Structure 1
Amino acid sequence: MGKKRKSSGPAVGSGLDRKESGTMEGEFTGTQFKSMLRSPDTALRGLEQFLNLARKLPSPSLYDVVEGYIKISVECVEILTLLDGEKRPESEIMVIFQTLEAILLRTASDLSHLNVAGVNIVKKMINTHMKLIYASVYSETHRMSRICLNLLSAMVTQGPDCARDVFSHFDFNNKFLPTLLKKRDKQGRPDVRMAYIQFAISFLISGDNTTIVQMLELNDFIGNIFSTGIKEDRISTISLLLSLLKTKIVLNKTITKTQKVRFFNFTMLNNIASLYRWAGIVDVNTEDIKETKGSKEAGRAMIRELVHNFLMDLCCSLKHGINFYDPSLGTAGRPGNLVLLRFLVALKSASEDELVADLVVNTLKVCPDLLSRYFKETQYSFVPRVKTSWLDNIKLLKKIYASQPEISPAFRTSEFVPFPRLLSMLLITTVAPVCNKTLFTQGLNLPNKIVKQTILSLISSTLRRVEININHCLNEEIWQKSDIYTPAAMSEFAQKYREAVSKLLPDMNTVIATWQALTKADDAEYEAPNKDNPAKEQDLPSEVLQLPGTEEQYGSDDVQTTLLKASLLQVLCLYQRVVPHLVVQNSFDFSKLLKGIVNEKGMREEVPPVLQYEILQVALVLPANKFSWFKVQVCLVSSIVLFVYTEGISAFTTTLLPCPGV
């Protein structure tokens, strides 16, 4: 048999043909392999035969040469001896490294009962051959670097002790280490970058908490993976990487928040967030991803969901995340969560990307102390202008505050907070810092219905939130049980809250002027229905025409105008409920609001039901002395009574009857 192998064996460095390989596989044993390694003439051929067979194992139909060899040579001396002496060519070193890797992968998995062999290999390599490992890792030959990194990964997988030994002996500060991540195969084949990532995550898989914490202190070791083109990596690689970072670091109770913050710094978070714009290689099944066209689009949706879930766990969890809760809501003069603040401000696509917006909204929900600083430092402009980008920015603002608790967390304090600071805390969570009289007034004065409607909607949502908190302050049952504040004190505080909010709102005259401008436009259209609109589309400023609805703003009372009028009336009602002193101080005769809606016969039939409802609400809520036309108000109150007993708003036009004597 020996003669047959000699005559049919391939030359050194070449592979066996299919027929001879099958013959050799049937006869190749651990004893024969060990014997071949002892002879310089047959050692390399034995390694190749061993490696070819090991790649097919474990298999029930094949003899397990790996197990057979380990049992008769537990220290694998014959293989390791090949690395001693004079330097071998890289091609031979690659085969030796691959053989050792094949053995280590088995002793870390199905041959774990023979793990002592793997441990012996690790100890021998780090104690004797580290110089060779460094030379191989930083070799100009990409294949050599990849094979050596794969060997290092297999060494780490032998267990926590081996992971600790490799970590303590390997030089992670070598200036050439980060350059390995740039050695990428454009066709998606296994490359040096992938081997580097595998080496890094092997510590997360096999290392104990001590090793993982030490690795976190090497920010660049894993951080460089995300800063060198993570957007172009395979789906499987990114999925495994994010999964391990989550389970081994984010959800690891033994790792403190401070350690997490140091590891997940601003740069790291920013690079992870770049995966929202992933454009890498699809190497997994994407058939389960619905509502997508093609595997590339499905892969992008998959990665976006993966990174979003990861960042939500990292940035929006007080239990596991990197955020710290500030009970003072940022008013104590000790700014915290600075990493998160910088990260949120840097997310420039939050107003356009729903997932990014969701991340920002939920992070600020958990960290309300960042609200004030976020709006001060963000690059989004909230100054009213006739552009869709402004609408997107306001939409994001409303989402952020809609997610905040209705009852401000300022009231959750367990100790006495002076009213001035309590007021600041309350304003932070109920009124956006960018919402002020100037912004509201500018928006209402712009000649565009959509801008006006957006501003009125913002005012309404703000006042409703304020109203809920005022009612909370005035709820005597709550404060009678409190050991901190009395009902009388909170009633006084509610008044201070009203006054503070009133300074941020537009003047009543500005709101009324907006209504009158709409009414005058309607009157002009009604009096001269056959005349051309004096403000034609081509006469309007170009920036005004960027939004839909602008061309109708001087026209008839369309749906948009009706909704705008209804919003104005809602705001007036909220003014009366939230800041009544502004209504009292205003001398406007609110009966003028009824012009065009109510005549001597009652409600005009052509007035839309929604407008009828809102004008009745105004008449019901505002003080009677604000209407000089008292008979009309009596009529309106009677109409409201009739409305209460109707089944729907559609019944308005049939139940509103004229009042006698009007």
Structure 2
Amino acid sequence: MSVLQTPVNPEEREVVRQAVHAFLTDLCCSFKTGINFYDSSLGTSGKNQNHILTGFLSSLQKASTDALSADLVISVLRACPDQLHHFLSSLAPTLNPRPSAAWVSSMDMLIQIYEAQPTELSFLSTKLPSAHLNLVAMSLVLVLPPDKVMSTFTWGLKQSSQPVRHKILDFLKVALQRALHILTNVRSLADSSDPSLAQLGPRLKESLLKKLPDAATLLGCWTKMMAERTQPNKDVSKEDIPSVASIQHIVRLQQVMCLYQELVPTMLSDSPHHVSSLLEGVRGVGEGDGGQDEDRMLPQLYLLKLLAGTDARQLPWAKENAARHSLMYLLLEMTTKVSASRKLKEVTQHLVAELLQSTGLFQDQDQELAIWLRHLAVTMVPDVVDFTARMMTMFVSNPYPYMDPSDGHRGGGRCR
């Protein structure tokens, strides 16, 4: 007996799909009417309290190719974060970095999964003593995937494919934002209500730094990117994923660096030889890239934010690049390059002033420094910028011959 094949109406099929999706979402996400159980340890106790969900999620490893399936996975993992590492461990092979559309889809879903996770840590307000809970491990569950996934991301940042590196940086931006938000909440709770949490922040930061790519890897991405600007990778055109605009990649890498610097304030001062490379790279963007002034200035603003976040006394002020330009010259030049936006001018001048003030040599002179920078930006004469940069470099590199006589004059004036 043959079975008659009747054509399926696409609209009716979609109605059925939506109904099944709604049913499964309620079944897997509701603690009241569903099959899931609340795990207060977020899966860190060693006991899987939702093994049925584990099996179900494992059957959805290709969820990234279907919007409804991906939405179901994201909803289940938001309701039951104890399943995050179970599911992502099974998903690990599809997250192995490679220039393919399937990998990009898997990474997009991973980013959406962590964006959907709560940033407020309800387990910190539990009445159980902290000794009964592994608070560091529980916090990490909500920030980073399992180690075997993170290790492949570190490896992926060293690959030649810029789109692959860019997508990994997209995830790291989300992870670092979540980590910093959680650390802020922990410090706030420790200060206001639970002093016993005071040690959680440093321990969590230490664990994060062990799992995240290190500063050398991120700075290596910059070196690789600068090399690609002069010698483009010919294999990129053969990859099965869209290319990334150079300026977008620069900005994303700088955003990740800025976030990472909040965890490691000495990132640049520990690698002073990279400062000149950062400045030269951003200078090249300003000179060689088209687009709106605001777009071209973004790399400059993020670079200034990076420099303002480091110890300015440790920066290589006297070191010159191949064109015999010092760090001071490149900074002052930035204030003269902004032409279209008054707001961009003000932000640039403010960040440069903030960086110079952090040297400790311009105390109580913030207004004078701001006026000086504004007039320098109006002048826009290369010889003036060069002369000013040389004088400022001499002062910042070795201020004592200039400060001691000045202090002597001030002291003499007070005595008289």
Q: So what's the TM-score if we normalise by structure 2?
A: 0.72
How do 1:122-271 and structure 2 match up within 5 A?
186-187=3-4
| 2:322 matches 1:595 | no
* 1:208-261, Cα deviation, whole Å (9 max, x unpaired): xxxxxxxxxxxxxxxxxxxxxxxxxxxxxxxxxxxxxxxxxxxxxxxxxxxxxx
Q: Is the 8 A contact 2:257 2:306 kept in 1?
A: yes
Aligned to 2:121: 408
Q: Which amino acid aligns with 1:568?
A: L
| 2:12 matches 1:299 | yes
Q: Which amino acid aligns with 1:340?
A: L
Cα distance in 2 for residues equivalent to 1:649 and 1:454: 31
Cα distance in 1 for residues equivalent to 2:345 and 2:79: 40
SS in 2 for 1:474: helix
Q: Is the 8 A contact 1:386 1:547 kept in 2?
A: yes
Which residue of the other structure, out of 298, 301, 310, is the alignment partner of 1:610? Answer: 298
Aligned to 1:631: 328
* CA distance 1:636–1:447, shift in 2 (3 Å): same
Cα distance in 2 for residues equivalent to 1:436 and 1:426: 17
Task: Count residues with an aligned counterpart.
Answer: 342
Q: Which amino acid aligns with 1:348?
A: Q
Aligned to 1:376: 89
* 1:119-162, Cα deviation, whole Å (9 max, x unpaired): xxxxxxxxxxxxxxxxxxxxxxxxxxxxxxxxxxxxxxxxxxxx
Q: Which amino acid aligns with 2:304?
A: L
Q: Is the 8 A contact 1:329 1:369 kept in 2?
A: yes
Cα distance in 2 for residues equivalent to 1:512 and 1:616: 16
Question: Is the deviation greater in 410-419 or in 356-365?
Answer: 410-419
Q: Which amino acid aligns with 1:575?
A: Y
* 1:392-451, Cα deviation, whole Å (9 max, x unpaired): 111111111111002234324222122871101000111111576532332112221210
* CA distance 1:578–1:317, shift in 2 (3 Å): same
Offset at residue 465 of structure 1 (A): 0.5
* CA distance 1:407–1:649, shift in 2 (3 Å): farther
Q: Is the 8 A contact 1:609 1:652 kept in 2?
A: no
Aligned to 1:499: 206
Q: Which runs of 5+ in 2 are unaligned?
A: 291-295, 318-326, 350-373, 390-416
Aligned to 1:66: none
Which residue of the other structure, out of 174, 178, 188, is the alignment partner of 1:465? Answer: 178
Q: Which amino acid aligns with 2:190?
A: W
Q: CA RMSD in A?
A: 3.5
Q: Is the 8 A contact 2:119 2:178 kept in 1?
A: yes
| 2:23 matches 1:316 | no
Q: Is the 8 A contact 2:28 2:76 kept in 1?
A: yes
Which residue of the other structure, out of 49, 52, 77, is the alignment partner of 1:339? Answer: 52
Which residue of the other structure, out of 234, 241, 259, is the alignment partner of 1:547? Answer: 241
Offset at residue 613 of structure 1 (A): 2.2
Offset at residue 612 of structure 1 (A): 2.1
Aligned to 1:105: none
* CA distance 1:435–1:420, shift in 2 (3 Å): farther
* 1:372-408, Cα deviation, whole Å (9 max, x unpaired): 2222234652111111111111111111111100223
Aligned to 1:439: 152
Aligned to 2:246: 561
* CA distance 1:649–1:452, shift in 2 (3 Å): farther
Offset at residue 308 of structure 1 (A): 0.5
Q: Which amino acid aligns with 1:334?
A: K
Offset at residue 481 of structure 1 (A): 4.8
* CA distance 1:400–1:572, shift in 2 (3 Å): same
How do 1:2-13 and structure 2 match up within 5 A?
none
Cα distance in 1 for residues equivalent to 2:345 and 2:248: 15
* CA distance 1:517–1:345, shift in 2 (3 Å): same
* 1:162-184, Cα deviation, whole Å (9 max, x unpaired): xxxxxxxxxxxxxxxxxxxxxx9
Cα distance in 2 for residues equivalent to 1:435 and 1:500: 15
* CA distance 1:637–1:424, shift in 2 (3 Å): farther
Q: Is the 8 A contact 1:345 1:379 kept in 2?
A: no
Q: Which amino acid aligns with 2:101?
A: T
The structure where helix makes up a greater share of residues is 2
* CA distance 1:474–1:635, shift in 2 (3 Å): farther
Cα distance in 1 for residues equivalent to 2:39 and 2:20: 27
| 2:309 matches 1:621 | yes
* CA distance 1:379–1:281, shift in 2 (3 Å): farther
* 1:294-335, Cα deviation, whole Å (9 max, x unpaired): xx1111111111100111111111121111111111122321
Q: Is the 8 A contact 1:344 1:374 kept in 2?
A: yes
Aligned to 1:479: 190
SS in 2 for 1:318: coil
* CA distance 1:650–1:328, shift in 2 (3 Å): same
Aligned to 2:216: 509
* 1:37-70, Cα deviation, whole Å (9 max, x unpaired): xxxxxxxxxxxxxxxxxxxxxxxxxxxxxxxxxx
Which residue of the other structure, out of 562, 572, 576, is the alignment partner of 2:261? Answer: 576
SS in 2 for 1:332: coil
* CA distance 1:498–1:435, shift in 2 (3 Å): farther
| 2:99 matches 1:386 | yes
* CA distance 1:382–1:409, shift in 2 (3 Å): farther
Offset at residue 566 of structure 1 (A): 1.2
Q: Which amino acid aligns with 1:578?
A: L
Aligned to 1:521: 228
Offset at residue 575 of structure 1 (A): 1.4
Offset at residue 473 of structure 1 (A): 1.4
Q: Is the 8 A contact 1:444 1:452 kept in 2?
A: yes
Q: Is the 8 A contact 2:27 2:34 kept in 1?
A: yes
SS in 2 for 1:597: helix
* CA distance 1:626–1:387, shift in 2 (3 Å): farther
Cα distance in 2 for residues equivalent to 1:626 and 1:513: 20
Offset at residue 639 of structure 1 (A): 8.1
Cα distance in 2 for residues equivalent to 1:444 and 1:636: 32
Cα distance in 1 for residues equivalent to 2:308 and 2:347: 19
SS in 2 for 1:580: coil
Q: Which amino acid aligns with 1:572?
A: M
Offset at residue 632 of structure 1 (A): 4.7
Cα distance in 1 for residues equivalent to 2:169 and 2:80: 27
* CA distance 1:611–1:365, shift in 2 (3 Å): same
Aligned to 1:274: none
* CA distance 1:502–1:648, shift in 2 (3 Å): same
Aligned to 1:359: 72
- Higher relative contact order, structure no. (Cα contacts within 8 Å, ≥ 6 residues apart): 2
Q: Which runs of 5+ in 1 are unaligned?
A: 1-183, 189-279, 283-295, 526-532, 550-558
* CA distance 1:462–1:626, shift in 2 (3 Å): farther
* CA distance 1:650–1:307, shift in 2 (3 Å): farther
SS in 1 for 2:157: helix
Cα distance in 2 for residues equivalent to 1:512 and 1:498: 20
Q: Which amino acid aligns with 1:571?
A: V
How do 1:78-157 and structure 2 match up within 5 A?
none
Q: Is the 8 A contact 1:573 1:622 kept in 2?
A: no
Q: Is the 8 A contact 1:383 1:439 kept in 2?
A: yes
Cα distance in 2 for residues equivalent to 1:520 and 1:470: 36
Aligned to 1:661: 388
